[in-house]
Every structure is written in C-alpha cells, then in structure tokens.
C-alpha cells in the first residue's frame, strides 16, 4: 500500500512536460495498478511495471537480428516502436519504446554523447514556444519526464536535443505520442544504460531508412 500511495502522489503532482504525452490524461489512483513494486536504485527506487498490462511483444527479449549494424550499436525503429541493441552472432536485445508523434519524430545517425542517472530536465525554447505553461526546470524524480536514465544523442559533437530516456507513463510504450524523444520503461532504460558506453552509435530509422 505504501508503494501505491507514493506512486499516486508522484503521478498526480506531475505537470505536463514536453517529453511526456501530448494532451496527457489526468493521473488517477487507477494508475497505481500499473505497478507491482520497486527495484532498488539511487537516489530513487525504480517503480516496476506490471508487464501483464502490456502487449508481450514490447517485453525486453533477445531476438534474431539481420540488420547490417555492428554489435554494440543501438537501432531505433520508429515504425515498429522497437529499440534493438545489436549483439554478436545475428542477435539483438529488443525493447519496446514510445516514439515521437507525427511531425515530431527524428531520424538519423547519432552517438551517445553523455549518459545521465535520474537526470534533471529543462524544456527547449521550441517546447516552451509551443507550451508556455511548461516548467523551465525540473529536478530528478518519479515525476520527471526523463525518468530514471537518459542517453543524450549527439551529432558531430553537438547535442541534437533528442534523448532515449525513461518514462512515468508506461501505457505510452508502443505509441507515437512524445515530442520526438524515444521513451522506455524505467527498468528497461536502466538495463540499456548499463550495457552501452558513451560513444555508442545510434541509428534512428523511419520507413526503413535512417539517412535523411
């Protein structure tokens, strides 16, 4: 009961944020039903999602992979709503993700410029221009739209402003709802974070292509 009370309080206090769902539904006590416990982490524990409420295809799993990308690469398929961490011998670890809504999704080749554990968040000028009511800064925590971990995508040494990050909206995995970032369950992004170093190549493709 204590876990549920904490989750409800955090969700109800969460403001609309650009990395969260556009037209975010009002959080209710029923949202706590998405969670089954906590995974120890610092400085906050990670809420564990009840996977029975999700389509099994979005569960983290090892699958066959026939793409040309080298082992260690990250491949995000916007159309499939899947992220692949390429492994040796034609395999990949596959994670379900949420992606940017129509007109906001990005594709291309980038690299992980830096990594963040329970990162703080600030909206871009574009986000503020679209939604002036957004907070200008949010501390790390359960209500932060970047969640438990974030991988910051860079091109040619410059921040693209796109991230692979956790989410406090598990129901959005498999959907096209964000303002461009790739979102994962917090326990999944924490797993990915431990597997990839800074400098990892990231391919984000749409319509089967990642070259603009």
Residues with catalytic annotation? 165, 181
Q: Read off the tokens for 140.
A: 């790390």
Tell me how far apart the alpha carbons of residues 113 and 140 are, in angstroms, rounded to a whole number. 20
Q: How long is the chain?
A: 212
* Per-residue three-class SS string for 21-69: CCCCCCCCHHHHHHEEEEECCCCCCEEEECHHHCCHHHCCEEEECCCCC
Whether cis (ω within 30° of 0) applies to the bond prior to 43 is: yes
H/E stretch holding 86? strand 82-87
DSSP state of 131: -
The SS3 call for residue 150 is strand
C-alpha dist (Å) from residue 136 to 12, 18, 127, 142, 158: 19, 11, 10, 17, 22
Nearby residues of 78 by Cβ (< 8 Å), 6 or more positions away: 99, 100, 105, 107, 176, 204, 205, 206
């Amino acid at each position: 009961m204590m876990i549920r009370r904490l989750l409800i309080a955090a969700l109800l206090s969460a403001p609309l944020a650009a990395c969260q769902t556009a037209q975010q539904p009002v959080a209710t006590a029923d949202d706590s039903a998405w969670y089954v416990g906590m995974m120890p982490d610092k400085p906050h524990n990670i809420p564990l999602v009840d996977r029975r409420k999700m389509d099994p295809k979005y569960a983290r799993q090892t699958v066959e992979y026939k793409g040309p990308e080298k082992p260690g690469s990250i491949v995000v398929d916007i159309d499939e709503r899947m992220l692949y961490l390429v492994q040796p011998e034609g395999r990949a670890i596959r994670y379900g993700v949420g992606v940017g809504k129509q007109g906001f999704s990005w594709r291309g080749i980038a690299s992980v410029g830096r990594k963040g554990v329970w990162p703080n968040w600030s909206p871009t000028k574009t986000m503020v221009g679209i939604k002036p009511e957004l907070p200008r800064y949010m501390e790390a925590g359960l209500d932060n739209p970047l969640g438990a971990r974030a991988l910051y995508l860079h091109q040619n040494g410059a921040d693209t402003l796109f991230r692979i990050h956790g989410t406090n909206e598990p129901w959005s995995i498999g959907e096209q709802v964000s303002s461009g970032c790739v979102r994962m369950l917090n326990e999944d992004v924490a797993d990915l974070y431990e597997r990839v170093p800074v400098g990892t190549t990231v391919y984000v493709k749409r319509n089967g292509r990642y070259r603009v």
